[in-house]
Amino acid sequence: MLQAESIQKSVRVVAFIGNPNTGKSSLFNALCGMNARVGNYPGVTVEQKVGRLSGTTNLIDVIDLPGTYSLAARSADEAVAVNVLSGELPQQARPEVAIVILDAANIERNFYLFSQIYELGLPVIVVLNMWDRVTSEGLTVDAELLSQRLGVPVVCTSANKRQGIDQLRKTIEHTLNAPAPMPQPGQLARTMFPAAFHLESKLLSEWLEAKGRKPSTSQVDRLLIDSDGHFQKTLCQSGLSDIAERIDEARTRLQSAGCKVPMFETKARYAWVRKLIDGAVVRQESRSASPSDRIDRWLTHRWVGMLVFVLIMFLVFQSITLFAKLPMDGIQWLQAQASSGVEAVLSPGALRSLIVDGILAGVGGVIVFLPQIAILFLFIAILEDCGYMARAAFVMDKIMTTVGLSGKSFLPLMSSFACAVPGIMATRTIESRKDRMVTLLIAPLMSCSARLPVYILMVAAFVPATRYAGGWISLQGMVLMLMQSLGALVAIPVAWILKKFFFPGEPATFLMELHSYKWPSLIVIYQRVWERLVAFVVRAGTLIFCTSILVWAAAYFPGDHRSLDQSVATLEQLNSTRAEWIKNQVSQPQSDERSTMEASLAENQTAIDEAQEQVNRQRSQLIESSFLGSVGHYIEPAVKPLGWDWKIGVAVIASFPAREVIIATLGTIYSLGSEQDEESQGLQKQMQMAEWPDGKLVFNLATALSIMVFFALCAQCSATLMTIRRETNSWRWPIFSFAYMTTLAYIGAWLTYQCFRYWS
């Protein structure tokens, strides 16, 4: 205990800060490995990522601060970055060193943020990341000279190639252990601010001190420069109500003195940066367009650009259905092996049922989707890393503005096609709160990977396997693609309505950096895909596992399973006898014994069929009398207009924690005991044979489409709702999401069923 405490105390904290898209996360992963602790900053809804620096003698924690262009905080993310660096965030130790990550190929603009951080009074390390781009972009950068001029260490790294990482690690340790040289006041960019501003800053500082506050110089600067800025709001909330008035007076005086706020700051800082990099950063001006510009001419071309965009999206979704099959079959095979292994050891009863039908079926039926998620995130990671994702936002911006959003909403929405949870979290990059809220509320409509198994199951079982164009285009694939796009299509009017009636206002600014194209880095792609897979497995391991157990219990209890267990035991006995006979038959190939054997085998087959039928009958009786069955019967009138029987109703209710659970539930309801996944022939067959009491088939094309439409639009995912709750910090929005999506889903499913019921 004492030892743990002393270790706790000796942990040093440093922070990573930089513009967005400077390879900050890759550098973080390279330094800390993949074991970052992800949580929220105390009291705010901004994600906190902390990692332990590997390979150092000291224990050093690295905080990965949200990317920002400026310390003039406008979004919640930027406010957190500023607060952590100035030690203003409660329960969060102020970092001892600020490690400023700059894009080496875009030094001038990146040094703007540095000029602000330099004034915070923290030891600083400059990291010129993406160093490998410097030569390819026709730049020469003298890092040594920059280091001399600034008086701080400058380290060159290429995180995606793992270059310069050791150097950075050593520099961090060295800076922590040696008293770091602090920047001289004369070196700071604020010395280039006009004299009138320095006077006002001094006056305001004294005024605040008289009120018992002790803000730093850079905080006073921010108060004066940022109109209604985040620090002003903090002071206002802490009881300093007349601060706004005081600042307004100061601004008026500055204005009359010819000091234009906020322009003078950017002007002074960029002039400072120019002076700093003069002679140290040389750009070879070329008259011809760069290769990246030439690629861009096509990828953002009026027609070619759109065509490329559509083709890439087509490729992504076709690949999921194409390449995921083999690994999925492998996982299913493993699950079947595990189930039969358990069945061989345990006799029929509650424990075996729990393990095979609850645990193995529930978790296994979820892990089976890992290949699909991996493929989708592989594409997203490649597109992001090579630079196309920003072009996709650029190309799509105009369309997004028609629903009142920006191209920046494209990325979170695109991510939501894999899972709405990371998609909703990615909305943090949207500066405008209104845009962010709308994006966050429509993100769950995007077809996530959890819907895919539902579609695959329904499509494989009920959509004819017709092929067109010489077998290249399948009807099943077309329906799959339509279902994948349905949510996105519905999201358009939903976004428009939300924007119009719930979040009216001007569209957000759309200043976006377009990086040069580059070859994607394998290590970066591997890390992104791995992170998503781990996140999914963790979620599957907890939420879905619990649901599986609950659903299993609801379907198992109450009910006397003794006679069923008896029947199952009889059936298994018959089956093993048969297997033994067949083995003997192979070893005794004589023809006279063979005919008697065949007769007994036929007899045995009849007995097996009878036993199987009895097992099925007893199972369906037990489920119907279970808790789940009662609920299902109770809601049947409500779901009958959608073409559903009570079993489908039960499966939909049970899938509230996560959509993919419906497969496991349907499997449990239709045949407790067989492996349940979207491609299991057994489940497909049982669904195809399911009947209403009057003998009509429950499932046909209309029912299948109605279920798919319902799942395309519903909010059956507690993880998504919990994420919305966390991101909006209110129960209002998850409840709103659930209500509006379920209403849409019900209406959509009803319309679909009514349209197709006569046709099929």
Partner 1 sequence: MTLPNIRLDELGQGESAIIVEIIGEDVVASRLMEMGLIEEEPISMVGRAPMGDPTEYAVRGYRISLRKNESTRVIVRKEC
Which residues sit at the interface with partner 1, rule CB under 8 A? 69-70, 72, 74, 105-106, 108-109, 112, 137, 139, 227, 260-263, 266-267, 270, 283, 293, 296-297, 300-303, 305-306, 390, 393-395, 397-399, 401, 407, 507, 509-516
The least distance separating partner 1 from the CB of residue 111, rounded to whole angstroms, comes to: 10
Q: 420: which 2 tokens?
A: 């709405």
Amino acid at position 407, single letter: G
User: Alpha carbon of 709 to those of 112, 160, 451, 667: distances in Å?
Assistant: 50, 42, 10, 20
Indicate the residue among 388 and 699 with the shorter CB distance to partner 1.
388
- Taking each helix axis from N to C end, the angle separating 433-442 and 475-497, rounded to the nearest 10 degrees, works out to 150
> Which structure tokens are listed for 734?
């998850």
Nearer to partner 1 by Cβ, of 254 and 495: the residue is: 254
Per DSSP, 672 falls in state T
Return the number of the residue (397 or 677) whose C-beta is nearest partner 1. 397
The closest of 645, 628, 630 to 700, measured between CA atoms, is 645
Are 417 and 376 contacting, i.e. CB atoms less than 8 angstroms apart?
yes
Smallest distance, Å, CB 82 to partner 1? 14
CB of 393 to partner 1, least distance (A): 8
**Shortest approach of partner 1 to residue 296 CB, angstroms?**
6
Residue 460 identity? A
Contact 488, 443 (CB under 8 A): no
Q: Which is nearer to partner 1, 109 or 213 (CB)?
A: 109
User: In this complex, which beta carbon is closest to partner 1, that of residue 192 or of residue 331?
Assistant: 192
Nearer to partner 1, 108 or 142 (CB): 108
Residue 12 or 408: the one with the smaller Cβ distance to partner 1 is 408
Q: How far is the CB of 78 from partner 1 (least distance, A)?
A: 11
Nearer to partner 1, 37 or 301 (CB): 301
User: Least distance in Å: CB of 292 to partner 1?
Assistant: 8
Decide whether 306 or 354 has the Cβ nearer to partner 1: 306
Of the pair 196, 608, the CB lying nearest partner 1 is at 196
Q: How far is the CB of 310 from partner 1 (least distance, A)?
A: 11
Between CA 670 and CA 676 the distance in angstroms is 10
Say if CB 35 and CB 52 are below 8 A apart: yes
Q: What is the b/e burial string over 696-711, where b = at least 16 CB atoms within 10 angstroms of the residue's CB? A: eebbbbbbbbbbbbbb
Q: How many CA within 13 A on the CB side of residue 60? A: 28
> Other CB atoms closer than 10 Å to residue 100's CB: what's the count?
26
Q: Minimum distance from CB of 116 to partner 1 (Å)?
A: 10
Nearest CA-CA partner of 318 in 520, 486, 474 = 474
- Residues 209 and 544: their CA atoms lie apart, in Å, by 55
In the complex with partner 1, which residue's Cβ is closer, 229 or 649? 229
Task: Label residues 615-624 b or e (16+ Cβ within 10 Å = b).
Answer: bbebbbebbb
Work out how close the CB of 305 gets to partner 1 at its nearest, in angstroms, rounded to a whole number.
Answer: 5
To the nearest whole angstrom, how small is the minimum distance from the Cβ of residue 60 to partner 1? 31
Q: Which is nearer to partner 1, 75 or 547 (CB)?
A: 75
CB of 513: closest distance to partner 1 in angstroms? Answer: 6
In whole angstroms, what is the distance from residue 152 CA to residue 256 CA? Answer: 38
- Smallest distance from partner 1 to CB 288, Å: 11
| Burial degree of 137 (CB within 10 A; 0-12, 13-18, 19+) | middle
HSE at residue 524, side-chain half, CA atoms within 13 A, is: 26
Angle at 198 between CA 152 and CA 74, to 5 degrees: 70
Q: Check: CB of residue 379 under 8 Å from CB of residue 316.
A: yes
